[in-house]
């Protein structure tokens, strides 16, 4: 630990990344995902860089971006969905674009990230070497960065701004101009990492909005998955962040765990109950921690 501390002090301004270790991780659909693990020293460097980059970029991130940000959670995203789809907001008349990005960060343009980095030259150089070593800017599937420590932050930097593509004046009879104050502009796109939903009014053109999103992603080397991206009426319901959201026929907003999430929970409970290695006390503690 002492040696690593001295190494970071001496080399932090000219850090060179080592090769990554590749570990196959099974995904939900049965395919394998290669997880690239940096060395302990590289992870320590990335952690330092993350602490340096985060404050500056937090000030520029969109208010409706909730994934892997300090003090924000999926529950905050649920609250915004409720405010946009409640009976007071006429949620029963709205539609939702469930946006899915195809192979989100496999082919991302590194230049798109480097151009947006707010950092001195030494850190920019370190991040560039980090990307070239094979650390992908991505969001981990299990909630914590198992690969690169700085990866979720870089991914948020790459996608920042996509929330502002669909916007309109809160007074439907007015258009947004350069002089329109921010409090009068509504941007109903909620993003959590690379999962996002775009809320549409009856008069909004979904095709035009998707074209703008596709152009935004193309500039960063990504594209929309046509197979998985769906346009759904709020009365039909949609899944987001492990929950199922729906506006009922009476106009009231309903939020329950999604089918997949419920099945996973039941499977976890069944595993604990049927595990003969656990005594009754241990089972009770695991079921109700």
Instruction: Give the residue extent of every domain in the chain.
Output: 2-257, 260-289
Residue spans of beta strands (DSSP E) within 131-287? 168-169, 185-186, 189-192, 195-200, 223-224, 230-233, 238-240, 243-247, 253-257
What mean pLDDT is predicted for residues 277-289? 87
Does the pLDDT value for residue 197 go beyond 70? Answer: yes
E-only strand ranges, the chain:
21-26, 32-37, 95-99, 101-102, 168-169, 185-186, 189-192, 195-200, 223-224, 230-233, 238-240, 243-247, 253-257
Nearest partner of 190 among 284, 73, 272, judged by Cα: 73
The reported pLDDT for the residue numbered 173 is 84
Query: How far from the centroid of its chain's Cα atoms is residue 158's Cα?
Result: 11
What's the mean pLDDT when you consider all of the chain?
89
The per-residue pLDDT for 147 is 60
Spatial contact of 113 and 39, defined as CB atoms under 8 Å apart: no
- In the prediction, which pLDDT does 116 show? 93
Output the pLDDT for position 289: 72
DSSP letter at 20? P
Tell me the pLDDT band of 36, cut-offs 50, 70 and 90. Answer: confident
Kindly tell me if the per-residue pLDDT of 131 is higher than 70. Answer: yes
Q: What is the pLDDT of residue 105?
A: 66
Pair 196, 189: CB distance under 8 Å: yes
| Per-residue pLDDT at 29 | 73
- Stretch 121-147: mean pLDDT: 76
Residue 143 clears pLDDT 50, i.e. is over it: no
State the pLDDT at residue 221.
Answer: 87
Give per-residue pLDDT as tens, 155-173: 899 999 999 999 999 998 8
**Mean pLDDT lowest for which of 22-36, 65-79, 104-118, 120-134?**
22-36
156 closest CA partner among 87, 71, 60 = 60
Mean pLDDT of 177-200: 93
The tens digit of pLDDT for each residue in 53-99 reads 999 999 999 999 999 898 999 999 999 999 999 999 999 999 999 99
Question: Is residue 80 classed as helix, strand or coil in its secondary structure?
Answer: helix
Q: Check whether 198 has a pLDDT greater than 50.
A: yes
- Cα(242)–Cα(257) distance, rounded to whole angstroms? 6
Q: Give me the sign of the Cα torsion angle 64, 68, 72, 75.
A: positive
pLDDT at 142: 47
End-to-end CA distance of the chain: 34
d(CA 231, CA 37): 37
pLDDT over 60 at 9, yes or no: yes
HSE toward the beta carbon, residue 220, CA cutoff 13 A: 28
Asked whether the beta carbons of 158 and 116 are under 8 A apart, the reply is yes
Q: What DSSP character marks residue 40?
A: H
Rounded-to-integer distance, Cα 127 and Cα 17, Å: 9
What is d(CA 39, CA 45) in angstroms, rounded to the nearest whole number? 10
Contact 84, 108 (CB under 8 A): no
């Amino acid at each position: 630990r002492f040696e690593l501390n001295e190494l970071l002090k001496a080399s932090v301004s000219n850090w060179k990344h080592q090769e990554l270790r590749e570990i196959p991780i099974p995904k939900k659909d049965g395919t394998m995902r290669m997880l690239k693990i940096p060395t302990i020293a590289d992870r320590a460097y990335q952690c330092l860089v993350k602490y340096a980059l985060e404050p500056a970029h937090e000030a520029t991130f969109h208010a409706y971006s909730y994934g892997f940000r300090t003090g924000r959670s999926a529950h905050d995203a649920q609250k915004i969905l409720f405010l946009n789809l409640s009976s007071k907001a006429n949620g029963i008349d709205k539609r939702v674009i469930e946006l899915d990005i195809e192979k989100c960060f496999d082919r991302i343009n590194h230049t798109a990230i480097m151009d947006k980095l707010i950092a001195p030259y030494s850190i920019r150089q370190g991040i560039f070497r980090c990307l070239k070593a094979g650390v992908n800017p991505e969001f981990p599937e299990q909630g914590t960065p198992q690969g690169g420590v700085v990866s979720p932050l870089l991914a948020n930097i790459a996608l920042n701004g996509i929330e502002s593509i669909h916007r309109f004046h809160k007074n439907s009879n007015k258009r947004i101009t350069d002089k329109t104050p921010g409090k009068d502009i509504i941007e109903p796109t909620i993003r959590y990492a690379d999962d996002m939903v775009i809320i549409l009014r009856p008069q909004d053109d979904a095709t035009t909005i998707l074209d703008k999103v596709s152009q935004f992603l193309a500039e960063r080397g990504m594209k929309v998955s046509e197979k998985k991206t769906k346009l759904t009426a709020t009365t039909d319901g949609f899944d987001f962040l492990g929950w199922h959201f729906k506006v009922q026929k009476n106009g009231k907003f309903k939020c329950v765990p999604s089918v997949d999430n419920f099945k996973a929970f039941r499977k976890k409970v069944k595993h604990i109950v049927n595990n003969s290695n656990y005594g009754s006390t241990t089972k009770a503690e695991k079921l109700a921690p």
